[in-house]
Amino acid sequence: MSDLILDANESAFFSRELTAVENETYDIQYPELKARSIIPVNSSVNAGAETITYRSFDQIGEAKVISNAATDLPRVDVLGTEYSRPVKTVGDAFGYSVVEIKNANMAGRALSTDRAAAARKAIEYKLDDIAALGSAVDGIATGFLNDANVTISATGGAWGSATPATIIADFTAALTRINDASKGVEMANTVVLPDAKYSQIATTPRSATSDSTILAYILANFPTITEIIPWYKAKTAGVSAVNRMVVYNRNPSKLKQHITDEYQQLAPQAKGLEMIVNCMARTAGTTIYYPRSMDYTDGI
pLDDT, tens digit, for every residue of 159-190? 999 999 999 999 999 999 999 988 888 999 99
Which regions of 61-155 does DSSP assign to beta strands (E)? Answer: 77-86, 88-97, 152-154
CA distances from 23 to 20, 28, 118, 119, 125 (A): 5, 9, 14, 13, 19
Give the model's pLDDT for residue 92: 97
pTM: 0.86
CA distance 31 to 19: 24
The reported pLDDT for the residue numbered 136 is: 94
Per residue, the 3-state secondary structure of 195-250, as one string, reads: HHHHHHHHHCECCCCCCCEHHHHHHHHCCCCCEEEECHHHHHCCCCCCCEEEEECC
The helix-helix angle for 164-181 and 214-221 (nearest 10°) equals: 30
pLDDT of residue 256: 96
- pLDDT < 70 positions in the chain: 1-5, 28-31, 56-60, 78-80
Fold equal for 8-57+79-142+257-285 and 152-255+290-298: no
Domain 8-57+79-142+257-285 CATH class label: alpha beta
CATH of segment(s) 152-255+290-298: 3.30.2320.10
pLDDT of residue 58: 63
- The domain limits of the chain are 8-57+79-142+257-285, 152-255+290-298
CB neighbour list of residue 299: distance below 8 Å, 6 or more residues apart: 154, 155, 158, 238, 242, 243
Query: What pLDDT, on the 0 to 100 scale, is given for residue 1?
Result: 46
